[in-house]
Amino acid sequence: MMLFEFLSPYVRFFHGAAYNLHQTLDGLGISSTWFIEKAANGELVSGFAPGEAVIPVLVAIMFLALCSLPFMLLAGYILGKTKGVMVVGFLLLSPGFLNVLGFISPFSLTPSQYLVGGTGSLGSAFGFASLILYGVLIGWSVTIIVYDAFKLNDRFRHYYDHIWFLTAILTGIFFVADSGASEDAQALTEASAATRNASLYLLAQVREYDNYCLRNGSLETASCRWASRVQQQLNEYASDHHKIYKEFGPHVSRTVYAPTWSKISDEEIFQIREEINDYNSKRCPVKNLGGDSYQLSASSGVCQTVPASYCTSFPEPPESLVDKYVAIRTVALASECIVPTLVRLRDKQEKAIAIVSQNQRSKHYRWLFFIAFSIIVGGKIANSTTRVVEVDQRTPEEKQRIRKLVYNALKVTGTVSRGGIKFLTWSYRRLKNQHKPS
């Protein structure tokens, strides 16, 4: 029980790191939470299991942590020999001891939710912080070992600063890239909102026209039949997610007038548009004042000027069919400009989705960069540490402690090996002499 309490903060620490790392691997398509297995009754069962999928990543991270532990202790030895090893060891073991003594409250670094295939989702900030801290420790220990092993000096620190400044510039570039990505995402959101609002606006006018057809007994006309069937289509345009609208939204205006499942000729589409134009002229007549002057119908519950954001495209050809500038007229049914606008918005969203998807993938690459950057930060801290303990001021005998440690370790290993070989040889000869015939 005490061992579990001691190891608990370390497992929680690396569990949060593993969740964040796996979220990025999943977003990049490198890993997945999808599983398929055979049940006890022989049936195949499939689904998503993030909790189980993250276990291999957790094991790998903890294995790397154990492998990196000697490097941290070696760095401590270089800085202060036995005292340095004790300080590093104390710092590494202190979370476990504090947890056993009850000074650390239970915590979790795992994200509140895991997005399956969540491209663009980076997990929790706390889980990312655990990875960053681990990267800093790796960079710190490795840099100190390299500094000592190769007997480097202050010139190495100046060279290292070149890398440090370049990475700082990269972070600035990433900041600008994130700003541009936010603008792209905002553009997609605005296009999606315009599609939704324009569809709802047109849907309200179509319903009014459908009631008009019912009151006037003209349900069999081409435009009235269209008004009856298009309502469901407009309702779906208004409620669809932008990714669904990209696939099933109108690629051309004909899609709105004649769905793929309906066989309607171009002539009937022209008839629908002519009847709608006649309806607008009847409900919202334009009075010719002579010359180039016109007087529009006053705005009312039926006749209204279409909001500019819903009417950003000119009517489809032929130009003689309807007024080209219908967008500035008061009309009862603004299909002539809203329908081509819906087509344009679908095309705009398709392009925006491709850009946003690429930006979301780029987030993961920037995430990986910051993990690598944490190692560089650790190296920068190590350079400061070597200055603090005045490694450069040591006598030649005190420098390259790691080489001397390795040399002494190999020397002891060699001595023990030679002693073992001598012992085995002596044992073999003694046994052989005992079995000689007298």
- Spell out the domain ranges in the chain: 1-152, 184-354
**Residue 52 CB partners (closer than 8 Å, separation 6+):** 33, 35
The whole-number pLDDT of residue 196 equals 96
Q: What's phi and psi for 213, nearest 5 deg?
A: -60, -40
Q: Is 151 strand, coil or helix?
A: coil
Q: Are 297 and 304 in contact (CB under 8 A)?
A: no
Q: Are 230 and 256 in contact (CB under 8 A)?
A: yes
Chain-centre distance of CA 3, in angstroms? Answer: 37
Task: Give me the mean pLDDT over the 47-53 stretch.
Answer: 81
Residue 293 has pLDDT above 70, yes or no: no
Residue 438 has pLDDT above 60, yes or no: no
For strands 293-295 and 44-48, give the pairing: unpaired
23 versus 38: the higher-pLDDT residue is: 23
pTM over 0.95: no
Q: What's phi and psi for 304, nearest 5 deg?
A: -145, 150
Q: Are 20 and 127 in contact (CB under 8 A)?
A: yes
Rounded Cα gap, residues 316 and 255, in angstroms? 13
Instruction: Write the single-letter amino acid at 272.
Output: I
Rounded Cα gap, residues 370 and 355, in angstroms? 22
Rounded Cα gap, residues 305 and 339, in angstroms? 16
Rounded Cα gap, residues 261 and 270, in angstroms? 19
The model's confidence at residue 317, banded by pLDDT at 50, 70 and 90, is confident
Alpha helices (runs of H) in 389-400, residue ranges in sequence order = none
- The pLDDT tens digits of the residues spanning 406-427 come to 777 777 788 888 888 888 888 7
Dihedral-angle region of residue 120 (phi above 0 means left; psi in -120 to 50 means alpha; beta otherwise): left
DSSP state of 307: P
